[in-house]
Amino acid sequence: MFSKVWTQRDEWRCYSRYAVHPSRFVSCLMQAGEAAYQRLSRHVIPVTYRGVLDPSISNISLGGLEDFLKPIGGAHQQSGLSSGQEFCPPLSGVAVSFNELHELIQYPRSELDPEDLLSIHRFCWLLSLVTQAPSIKNIQKAVHCIEDWVDRYPMRSAGIGWDAYSVSERIVNWTFFLFGLRAFPTLHGSMEQLVVPALFEHLVFLRQHLEFHGPRTNNHVINNARALYIGGRLVQDIYSAGLGQEILSSAIPEQFTKSGFLREGSSHYHLLLCRSYLEVSWFARWTNDVVFYEKIRASLNQMLKATEFFLAFRDFPLIGDVSPDFKPAYHFGLLGGARHILEGSGVLVDNAGVSSKGWELLFPSVSGCKEPRQMPLGSIPAIQSFSDAGYHRITFSDYSLLFYCSPLGYIPPWSHGHGDLGSFLLYWKDQLLFVDCGRLTYVDDSWGRYGRSVRSHNSFSIDGREPCIVHGLNAYPELMHPHYLSSSPEVQIDELSPRKIVARVTNHSYERLFNVSEVVRYFICEHDQIIIEDHLQGESTHLVETFFHVHPNVKVQDYSKSGVMLTLQLSLIHISE
């Protein structure tokens, strides 16, 4: 990972510095508030080295970012775990054995990351057990964990795991675990007697604690509805299933764009929410709810096409937050599973890929499913642009460029997006070269804020300010005047020819700063090089800090005046100013 900083001085054109009018006065107040908030309470770790590269920089020195990025590289390889091996629950931030997991359920440790602790109580790890290590020994241990949890955390206790999101996850995960126990009739019968009454309690609780938060409502309510529908259909709770059905239908136009993408600025969360609707579709077919199945089928096909956009990359592009509940690789067989669940309803999947061993194996008819083979660069259109969702891809020669521009121009409270306006991911011969570092933790500490800030993305800041307003990082957009939030970013293709592609990204959000009138980043793609030009207009002197972050597999060598040499396997890539 490396960053560089320089100061640029230009005589910029700007409006009168002394003009006084209401909108100008409001902007003064908003900017003062943003600056104070960022300065007093929201510092991020300054992973910045001025002038030249510091040889001591490494992903290890950044407190675990290398482990956080591991799902990117080699994530499509088949798991080597056999059904007879000891199963280690795949928690996101901590490695534990099955015995330690059992102890953590009984005696939670406060030093654990809150998301790791909740993940234990959500029982997401059960699905990995069912698909990757379904031995009788492991199944028995999992059953004991569920028995202990039910005894220790009754609904009236309001203990750990009795938040609506965790309850939703537990309903679905226990349901799928029951299906996985069908190969063990004795365990299945006793487990059914334990879980079904608990599911009734969970459904009652969930109906009373749905995560509707007005304008701040996000994907959590879909998760609630998925649990109500699946759990309700399983235990024949008609009221819960009907409520889930209604929410699932109405949430699609609210939470997804017309092009089928989840609107929250996260590629991984899109994968998970597409999975949720696939699971609901499977239960609708399995319980003969044909009307509901047909009602959501067309929308689901749009979601799957958006999913195909992400899975067309050999290394899954991580943009925005990564869910702590599942590693991205667990759902890489989603398109293959969809082909079986939806009976080949227009999902474009090449089924000649490598065998997958993840989520899709939860479904009986998908046991022989293959993971989709990645499309060669030559078969992908040169320009793929989904302006309503903010995702844009340029494929040219041996490289592919992906960038996300929030259509709103800011990151609202319901989003899983980051301060990544102007940032990009770059693939060279299908291998990730420049990456999005990702968010190490949801905790509101220095590392959590760093992961959302511009400093952890391939973008630039002006005078230390974020390229846009990010909820809870540098301000609260719901409290700000619309004039201060500026208009949406613009992405335009200025040139498209066999020799060159020129894309222009105009960020209006920096116009909230005094003496800055226009900020544009150009991506100039030619056969043997990519040129990135940043154009700033305004007046006065400003500090411009530019950040680049490379994949852990990339070796970085500093050549001082001539730039930087990157080595990726047998490829040498030169970077210079």
Supply the pLDDT for residue 34. 58
**Cβ 356 vs Cβ 379: under 8 Å:** no
- Amino acid, single-letter form, for residue 262: L
Supply the pLDDT for residue 352. 33
Supply the pLDDT for residue 339. 82
State the Cα–Cα distance between residues 359 and 332, nearest whole angstrom.
8
Supply the pLDDT for residue 93. 56
**Cβ 317 vs Cβ 402: under 8 Å:** yes
Can you list the residues of the chain whose pLDDT is less than 50? 1-26, 28, 40-84, 344-355, 366-373
State the Cα–Cα distance between residues 335 and 161, nearest whole angstrom.
31
Supply the pLDDT for residue 12. 36
State the Cα–Cα distance between residues 341 and 349, nearest whole angstrom.
13
pTM confidence score: 0.84
In the 8-state DSSP scheme, what is residue 388? T
Give the pLDDT confidence of 441-481 residue by residue, as tens digits. Answer: 888 888 889 999 999 999 999 999 999 999 999 888 888 88
Q: What six digits make up the tokens of 11?
A: 């005589």
Supply the pLDDT for residue 497. 94
Give the pLDDT confidence of 516-549 residue by residue, as tens digits. Answer: 888 999 999 998 889 999 999 988 888 999 999 9
In the 8-state DSSP scheme, what is residue 373? P
**Cβ 226 vs Cβ 168: under 8 Å:** yes
Supply the pLDDT for residue 39. 53
Give the pLDDT confidence of 384-394 residue by residue, as tens digits. Answer: 999 999 999 99
H or E segment to which residue 500 belongs: strand 500-506
Supply the pLDDT for residue 10. 36
200: number of Cβ within 10 Å: 15
**Cβ 168 vs Cβ 227: under 8 Å:** yes
Whether the CA torsion 23, 29, 33, 39 is positive or negative: it is positive
